[in-house]
């Protein structure tokens, strides 16, 4: 048992409890913490993650359990931990801020705010040592501390501008969320999606590839209502690639959160409950349009996975399955080339050819 304990020990979130014995003096997001931030008048670090997040675990192990780093964080920042499964509203707002500032997002999401909770800098994973052009986490902390002590006014002004920009963007989004009942606006959106479509491997954009369920649902519905088979075909091509690839667990069932490559072969191994629900929904709609039995089979396989693996002993379902096992990402799911040869015997060659398996991986 760690000799450290912080305010998160009183929380119920599994993710927050994972950090309850970090040397970092984490606080939960609540009125008392917000008042504490104002009273201390220091920059606020809000770190957002979730229990099944691989890189959240890595950053905790590398930085948040480091006593030197924790001492600096405790002295110069008010530190808040948030479970995005528990507070998706805060996660969404801070993600919008970081994507506006950097053009990127993800988890862990680490955002620096003024004492009155206006963001001014942020990012995702930071390594313990400088690498690949990224500063170390301690270097980031030191830079923010120096900037706050020497340029407080400039930071507050910058944060105010960003805050106003986010407010304006939200207002514009709300106005655009109720488009005119004009077929042109709906077809234009579908055409825009098709401009980003990967015609070869399915999906949208490049690696890493997320399923982008809402885009698939929209494109399929638009293709049906406006009689455009190309749009429907892109959706069915995408789901065909996914359910035949490594992003879908061919043995145990269920789909991983995203693929690290453009081919849907190498997954990031965590499985989210909402992805399983979206997969079942999209496959059900695709089955209604095509009657392809492979979709019905995959639906049944996914439901069986949910019932056997993600259903809780009491009621409801668990939110996610962690990517890590025995401290290693994906270890539970993978076999070596030699193990596959031994298990599959004469069928190994066909299997390895279908899934691009080679001796080196």
Compute φ and ψ for 26, nearest 5 degrees.
-70, 150
CA distance 195 to 361: 33
To 10 degrees, the CA torsion angle through 174, 179, 184, 186? 70
pLDDT of residue 183: 63
**Which of 11-20, 270-279, 311-320 is least confident?**
311-320
- Domains and their CATH numbers in the chain: 7-174 (3.40.30.10), 183-330 (1.50.10.10)
pLDDT of residue 184: 66
Answer positive or negative: Cα dihedral of 76, 135, 119, 47. Answer: negative
Q: What is the mean pLDDT of residues 167-176?
A: 69
Comparing C-alpha atoms, which of 25, 23, 49 is closest to residue 37?
Answer: 25
Whether pTM exceeds 0.85: no
pLDDT of residue 178: 57
Q: What is the mean pLDDT of residues 89-107?
A: 93
Binning pLDDT at 50, 70 and 90, where does residue 181 land? low
Tokens 């490559």 correspond to: 261
**Which of 8-22, 56-70, 347-361 is least confident?**
347-361
pLDDT at 1 over 80: no
- Taking only Cα atoms into account, the Rg of the chain, rounded to an integer number of angstroms, comes to 23
Count of C-beta atoms within a 10 Å radius of residue 180: 7
pLDDT at 126 over 80: yes
pLDDT of residue 285: 97
Coil, helix or strand at residue 72 = helix
pLDDT of residue 327: 80
Count of C-beta atoms within a 10 Å radius of residue 240: 16
CA distance 109 to 123: 6
In a 13 Å sphere around the CA of 258, the CA atoms on its Cβ side amount to 15
pLDDT tens-digit readout, 40-64:
999 999 999 999 999 999 999 999 9
Tokens 């825009």 correspond to: 192
Element (H, E) at 201: none
CA distance 198 to 238: 9
CA distance 114 to 121: 10
**Distance (Å) of CA 312 to CA 315, 316, 319, 320:** 6, 6, 10, 11
């Amino acid at each position: 048992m760690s000799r450290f304990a912080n305010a998160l020990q009183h929380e119920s979130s599994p993710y927050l409890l994972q950090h309850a014995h970090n040397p970092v003096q984490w606080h939960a997001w609540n009125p008392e913490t917000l008042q504490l931030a104002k009273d201390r008048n220091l920059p606020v670090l809000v770190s957002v993650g979730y229990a099944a997040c691989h890189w959240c675990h890595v950053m905790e192990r590398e930085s948040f359990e480091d006593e030197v780093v924790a001492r600096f964080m405790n002295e110069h920042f008010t530190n808040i931990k948030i479970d995005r499964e528990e507070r998706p509203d805060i996660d969404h707002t801070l993600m919008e801020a970081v994507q506006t500032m950097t053009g990127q997002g993800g988890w862990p999401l680490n955002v620096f705010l003024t004492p009155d909770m206006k963001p001014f800098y942020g990012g995702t994973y930071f390594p313990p040592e400088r690498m690949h052009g990224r500063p170390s986490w301690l270097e980031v902390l030191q830079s923010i501390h120096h900037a706050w002590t020497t340029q407080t006014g400039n930071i507050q002004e910058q944060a105010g501008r960003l805050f106003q920009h986010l407010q304006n963007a939200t207002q514009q989004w709300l106005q655009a969320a109720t488009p005119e009942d004009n077929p042109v606006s709906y077809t234009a959106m579908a055409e825009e999606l098709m401009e980003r479509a990967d015609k070869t491997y399915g999906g949208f954009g490049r690696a890493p590839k997320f399923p982008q369920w809402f885009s698939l649902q929209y494109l399929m519905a638009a293709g049906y209502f406006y009689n455009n088979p190309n749009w429907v075909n892109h959706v069915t091509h995408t789901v065909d690639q996914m359910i035949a690839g490594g992003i879908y667990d061919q043995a145990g069932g269920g789909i991983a959160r995203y693929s690290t490559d453009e081919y849907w072969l190498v997954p990031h191994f965590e499985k989210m409950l909402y992805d399983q629900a979206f997969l079942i929904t999209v496959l059900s709609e695709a089955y209604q349009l095509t009657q392809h039995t492979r979709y019905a089979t995959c639906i049944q396989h996914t439901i069986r996975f949910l019932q056997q693996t993600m259903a809780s002993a009491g009621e409801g379902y668990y939110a996610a399955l962690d990517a890590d096992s025995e401290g290693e990402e994906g270890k539970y799911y993978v076999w070596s080339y030699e193990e596959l040869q031994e298990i599959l015997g004469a069928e190994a060659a066909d299997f390895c050819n279908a899934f691009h398996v080679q001796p080196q991986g």
